[in-house]
Amino acid sequence: MRIDLHCHSTASDGTDTPAELMRNAAAAGLDVVALTDHDTTRGYAEAIAALPEGLTLVTGAELSCRIDGIPMHMLAYLFDPEEPALLAERELVRDDRVPRAKGMVAKLNELGVPVTWEQVERIAAGGSVGRPHVATALVELGVVPTVDDAFTKDWLADGGRAHVDKHETDPFEAIRLVKAAGGVTVFAHPAASRRGRTVPESAIAEMAAAGLDGIEVDHTDHDADTRVRLRGLAAELGLLVTGSSDYHGSRKTVSLGRYTTDPEVYGEITRRATGAFPVPGTGGP
């Protein structure tokens, strides 16, 4: 069983539509794929409608959080997408992404970059708008050669010249909200140091005590030593360990199924969840 529990579509900052993502996941030989767009569940319906036979969809989202000024991402799986409190929090975060992106456009204009909100809006194409869309605009304008090159202090990295904060949820509140909606939480890429400051182990221990289910260990932003350290931490704290690609289509270089999750861990996630069930593909109507 090949299980990839972290993928993005055009519902946020990926480049495959949800339907393309499902077809590509099947073509990559996956048995289970999770759709985890940033702060949104908008891709679910299209993904379910396009789900090929033999592929199972785990519905989810990647929630933007912040602890002690440090941004972090919380993966949430198999929660009830209609549950009002979690839905309201997702909307709050997602809606705040628009003025925030406009703020980054304004800062870029001040730096002499002729990017417009219309351009960013076109690139985001109705998805949950984020820095990768602004970064794509910078590539189009020839300001930087690649999306990754826009994530520096010169441009869009945390604290960078054109960076603007967005509303982000306290992770303890996220754990509480997801649980109340019947979902399971996994701290995404907890030691991705190239993105900036990372959350201390003491805070991860507090999250574990507050009901965090797992941490994502096998991820492209973790080197071999970091994975060993995180596995040890997970064992100590009784957390599940996942691995996943964090696929973003052509906006990042990682391919579907590059890292995967152990079937036993996947089984435990599905046993703990009560808000939604994995959707088996039937090959369409």
- The reply to whether 73 sits near Fe ion by the rule CB under 5 A is yes
Judged by CB under 5 A, the number of residues near Zn ion is: 2
> Of residues 49, 153, 194, 253, which one binds ligand AMP by CB under 6 A?
194
> Of residues 176, 195, 229, 231, which one binds ligand AMP by CB under 6 A?
195
Output the smallest distance, CB 13 to Fe ion, in A. Answer: 4
Output the smallest distance, CB 36 to Fe ion, in A. Answer: 8
CA gap 71, 197 in Å, rounded: 8
Output the smallest distance, CB 55 to ligand AMP, in A. Answer: 23
Output the smallest distance, CB 156 to ligand AMP, in A. Answer: 8
Output the smallest distance, CB 174 to ligand AMP, in A. Answer: 14
> Of residues 13, 16, 168, 246, which one binds Zn ion by CB under 5 A?
246
**Residue 282 identity:** T
* Closest CA relative to residue 72, chosen from 185, 177, 188, 156: 188
Output the smallest distance, CB 6 to Zn ion, in A. Answer: 6
CA gap 59, 257 in Å, rounded: 17
> Of residues 3, 4, 5, 13, which one binds Fe ion by CB under 5 A?
13
Of the candidate spans 23-31, 88-96, 128-136, 201-209, the one that interacts with ligand AMP by CB under 6 A turns out to be: 128-136
- The reply to whether 219 sits near Fe ion by the rule CB under 5 A is no
Q: How many CB atoms lie within 10 A of CB 236?
A: 12
DSSP β-ladder status, 56-67 and 70-77: antiparallel
Residue 121 or residue 206: which is nearer to ligand AMP going by CB? 121
Residue sitting closest to ligand AMP (CB): 130
Chain positions 15 to 34 lying near ligand AMP, rule: CB under 6 A, are none
Give how far Cα 241 sits from Cα of 99, 209, 218, 232, 261, Å.
36, 16, 8, 10, 8
Please list the alpha-helical segments (H only) found in the chain.
18-27, 44-50, 84-110, 117-124, 131-140, 171-180, 201-209, 224-237, 263-272
DSSP string, 101-146: HHHHHHHHHHTT----HHHHHHHHTTS---HHHHHHHHHHTTSSSS
Query: Which residues of this chain interact with ligand AMP, rule CB under 6 A?
Result: 13, 38, 64, 130-132, 148, 151, 194-195, 248
Query: Which residues of this chain interact with Fe ion, rule CB under 5 A?
Result: 13, 73, 188
